[in-house]
Amino acid sequence: MLRNRRSDLVVAYLLTAPFILIYAWLFVWPVIQMVMLTFTDAPLIGAGKSVGLANYTRMFKDPIFFKAIWNTSYFVLLTVIPGTAVALGIALMVSRLGGWLQSAVLAAFFLPYILPVTVVYVIWDWLTNVQFGMLQSVLEWVTGRPVNLWRAIPWFMPSVAVITIWWTNGFSILLFLAGLRNIPKDLYEAAALDGATRWQMFSRITWPLIWPITVLCLTIQLILQLKIFDQVYLFATGGRTQATMVLVQYIYEQAFQKNSSGYAATIALALFVIVVVFSVLQFQLLRIRGQK
């Protein structure tokens, strides 16, 4: 059937217009406004005076800002690759199970994922309580005395990382499991006939075929963990928040607690740039490697 290309285009524009308009109105425009905010000393509510680049010079001299960048990077390092590796390991084990047992075990691993962060916080705060926590007896083997994980600075980030992996792992496991199920069984049968070992089957079949899922998991995790806020905020409240500050928490503190939205917007923009750069870099890097 012959159709006019121009009328096709008109239809296409008409159909996408609602999305583009709403996207521009609810996303692009606020982003532009936020960038404009960075040049003012605006409080939380209302407009501020223009201050030029003062917020930027302040940011580059602010030790807590750099502390927050360091803590956020450290947290990313502790969670993204280890978390994905753990998820792959668990998925490989779960995929060997069959029937209802597999569903039950999968559900057990997925359960933490559906918990709200406040519940996660309460459970772990209780488990690790320095006076009454059940995990303190385990910790004492290592440290010799009870440790308040949420106030001892060297313990803080690794503890939050472990909890975050425990909490968010279910989703990655699910992705990996779906990927593993998509690998045709014949490949393994053929390899078995050729006398391949278990390790060879993993490194030559599973790993290359699961690689796109691994890239996806790593990218999702990276973006998610760069935006870490809730767990750190909840566990650090009242204590040494500056020593454990992460970027989103610093944005929150500046905007809502210290009433300076202009500066908060500047930090938010810095975080935006960091997220964009890292995710593009990571995705490209991993894709190139995968194509080899």
Partner 1 sequence: MKRLLSAAVLAAVFAAPMAMAKETVVWWDFLGGGDGVRMKKLIEDFNAAHADTIEIQATTLDWGVPFYTKVQTSAAVGEGPDVMTYHASRIPLAVSQSTLSEITPEDMATMGLSADSFAKETWDAVNVDGKQYAVPFDTHPIVLYYNKDLLEKSGLIGADGLPTGLDGKDNFTAALQKLKDDGNEWSIVQVTADGGFAFRTIYSLLCQQNGVIGGDGAWFPDDNADKLANAVQVIADWVGNGYNPSYTDYPSTVALFTSGASPFMINGVWEVPTMADLQSQGKLFNWGAIELPVLFDKPCTYADSHAFAIPNNAGKPATPEKHAAVLEVVKYMSDNSLFWATAGHVPANVAVTETAEYKAMQPQATYAKLTANQVFDPKSVHAGVASALFDAAGNAFTAAMNGETDAASAVAEMKATMDALQ
Is residue 21 at the binding interface for partner 1, with CB under 8 A as the rule?
no
C-beta of 212 vs 239, nearer to partner 1: 239
Is residue 142 at the binding interface for partner 1, with CB under 8 A as the rule?
no
Out of 27, 60, 132, 272, name the contact with partner 1 by CB under 8 A. Answer: 132
Amino acid at site 133:
G
DSSP one-letter string for 182-239? TS-HHHHHHHHHTT--HHHHIIIIIHHHHHHHHHHHHHHHHHHHHT--HHHHHHHTTS
Strand partners, 40: 50
Out of 7, 131, 137, 291, name the contact with partner 1 by CB under 8 A. Answer: 131
Compute the least distance from the CB of residue 131 to partner 1, in Å. 4
Site string for partner 1, 44-63 (x = CB under 8 A): xxx-----------------
- Given the structure tokens 């194509």, which residue do they identify? 291
Strand partners, 50: 40
Q: What is the largest CA-CA distance in the chain?
A: 81
Cα torsion 86, 123, 115, 236 to 10°: value is -80
DSSP letter (8 states) at residue 259: -
Out of 56, 73, 85, 129, name the contact with partner 1 by CB under 8 A. Answer: 129
- Judged by CB under 8 A, the number of residues near partner 1 is 25
Contact 164, 231 (CB under 8 A): yes
Compute the least distance from the CB of residue 148 to partner 1, in Å. 4
C-beta of 153 vs 192, nearer to partner 1: 153
* Cα–Cα nearest to 135, from 120, 119, 123: 123
Pick the stretch among 67-75, 101-109, 238-246, 282-290 that binds partner 1 (CB under 8 A).
238-246
C-beta of 67 vs 227, nearer to partner 1: 67
Out of 73, 241, 279, 282, name the contact with partner 1 by CB under 8 A. Answer: 241
Is residue 207 at the binding interface for partner 1, with CB under 8 A as the rule?
no
Compute the least distance from the CB of residue 242 to partner 1, in Å. 5
Is residue 127 at the binding interface for partner 1, with CB under 8 A as the rule?
no
Neighbour-count burial of 94, counting CB atoms closer than 10 A to its CB (0-12 exposed, 13-18 middle, 19+ buried) = buried
Amino acid at site 142:
V
Is residue 152 at the binding interface for partner 1, with CB under 8 A as the rule?
yes
* Kind and range of the H or E run holding 44: none
Footprint of partner 1 (CB under 8 A): 43-46, 129-132, 148, 150-152, 237-243, 253, 256-260
